[in-house]
Structure 1
């Protein structure tokens, strides 16, 4: 029924190859769209609430004497810096 002009039929492996190639094209399209939406950056971002928790822990480390004031200032600047 599905014979081409040469008279040979389309076997099951040909259907499988066709379906897999279509899926591969759609996967490439999805990856390209995702890359464009993300701006090409795979760098994770910290949630806003996580930054507050980090600053609280930093304050505690300073209060307990685990870090010096210079270390505190350097780390705090790194945590509050916006990319």
Structure 2
């Protein structure tokens, strides 16, 4: 997550607590502000640690959404990608 668990909505914090026994690690990036750069950093962090990326972009032409930025970053890293338009 881009910030900390404490910055997440109550529902997200509760979901984490309910699943705590199945969560191996929570990585907090400690972003000062939860704006686009923090989300992009989070997405790159996930791609860097993944063997494959599955993206669910909105149907239509390739755009500049965070989903496409993440898919394209995975491509630049030579990671296999599965793109499932929704």
Alignment TM-score, normalising by the size of structure 2? 0.20
Greater Rg by CA:
1
The structure where strand makes up a greater share of residues is 2
The structure where helix makes up a greater share of residues is 1
Alignment TM-score, normalising by the size of structure 1? 0.20
Q: Which has the higher contact order (CA 8 A, sep 6+)?
A: 2
